[in-house]
Amino acid sequence: MITFQDVFFSYPIGKQERLPALRGLSGEIRKGEFLAVLGPNGSGKSTFAKLLNALLVPESGEVHVFGWDTRDSSHLWDIRQAVGMVFQNPENQLVASTIEEDVAFGPENLGLPPKEIQARVEEALRKTGLSGQRRTDIHALSGGEKQLVAIAGVLAMLPSFIIFDEATTMLDSENRAIVLDAVRKLREDHGIGVVLITHRMEEAVLADRILVIGNGEILLQGSPLEVFSLGAKVRSLGLDLPPMLQLAELLRKEGVSLSGTPLTVSEMEGALQL
C-alpha cells in the first residue's frame, strides 16, 4: 500500500522563490487498485507521480510505500523496485538494442544472478506478450510496442505498482489499445496496482477510482460514475466528460430516451437497450 499524508511540494524558481506544485495531498493507493489521476496541464499530476516512487520527496508531509518513508534513503531501492514508472515518450525509456536486452537491464543493475535475470526476463516478456519477439531490434517497433517493452522492463523488477504518466498520449488508437490491454492484464491477471495519469476520459472510466487534481490539491475523488455524474462540476475543473457521456447528452437533446449514465461503449449499448 502507498499512503501520503499532508504532502506539500514546491519547485525552486530563481534564487529565493519557489513555485508551489502540491498543497497538502492526503490519501492512499491500495494494492491491486486501478487509480486514474486527472487534472488540467500543470495541476501537479507528474509531481505527484514522482513523489510516489521517491523520484521526489515531500517538502513537508509524508509518503510511505509499504511502510517505508520515501525520505529514508536506506529504502530508496526497495521503493523504486516496488513502484515502477512508465513515461510519455517511449523513445526516452529504452536503453538497449533488442527487446530482451532492454528488459534485462533493470535486473542486471540490481546485480542479480544470471539465472534469476533470465527467469525475470522470461516472465516479463510472457506477461506482455513479447516472448516471440525477444531478439527484435527495438528500432523496428511501433510506439505502442516500445511502451510494451518499457512495461516489460518495469515488470522485470517485480513491482507491486506501476505508474503510467500519460504513457498513451503519444500513441495512435491501435497502439493505445495495445498498452491499455497490457494495463488491464497487469491488474486482472497479476494483481499489480496501476496509477494511470491521463487526459483521456475514455481511459479514466476503466479505473476503480478517480482522483482529480487541480492547482496542487485533490479536488474530487470517487468511482468513475460518482465523479462523472457531477457533469458540470467536472467541466468547470477544465476536464472533458467521457465520450459516451457526451454522446448521451447529444442524444438526449435530440429526444432519444436513454437510461442511466453510460460511461463505456457497452454501457451505452445497455442505455440504448440495443
Ligand X SMILES: Nc1ncnc2c1ncn2[C@@H]1O[C@H](COP(=O)(O)OP(=O)(O)OP(=O)(O)O)[C@@H](O)[C@H]1O
Which residues of the chain form contacts with ligand X (CB under 6 A)? Answer: 11, 13, 19, 21, 39, 41-47
DSSP β-bridge partners for residue 37? 197, 211
| Cβ-based nearer residue to ligand X, 6 or 137 | 6
Reduced 3-state DSSP string for 59-106: CEEEEEECCEECCCHHHHHHHHHHEEEECCCHHHCCCCCEHHHHHHHH
The reply on whether position 47 binds Mg ion by CB under 5 A is no
Out of 2, 39, 44, 46, point to the residue binding Mg ion (CB under 5 A).
Answer: 46
The minimum distance between CB 166 and Mg ion, in angstroms, equals 6
The minimum distance between CB 9 and ligand X, in angstroms, equals 9
Q: Take residue 261 and report the three cell numbers written for it.
A: 449514465
Counting beta carbons within 10 angstroms of the beta carbon of residue 266, is it exposed (0 to 12), middle (13 to 18) or buried (19 or more)?
Answer: exposed
Determine the interface stretch with Mg ion among 46-54, 185-193, 221-229, 242-250 (rule: CB under 5 A). Answer: 46-54
| Cβ-based nearer residue to Mg ion, 46 or 93 | 46
Determine the interface stretch with Mg ion among 43-51, 60-68, 95-103, 186-194 (rule: CB under 5 A). Answer: 43-51
Q: CA gyration radius for the chain?
A: 20
**Rounded CA separation 240/202 (Å):** 10
| Cβ-based nearer residue to ligand X, 44 or 107 | 44
**Rounded CA separation 139/87 (Å):** 18
Contact footprint for Mg ion (CB under 5 A)? 45-46
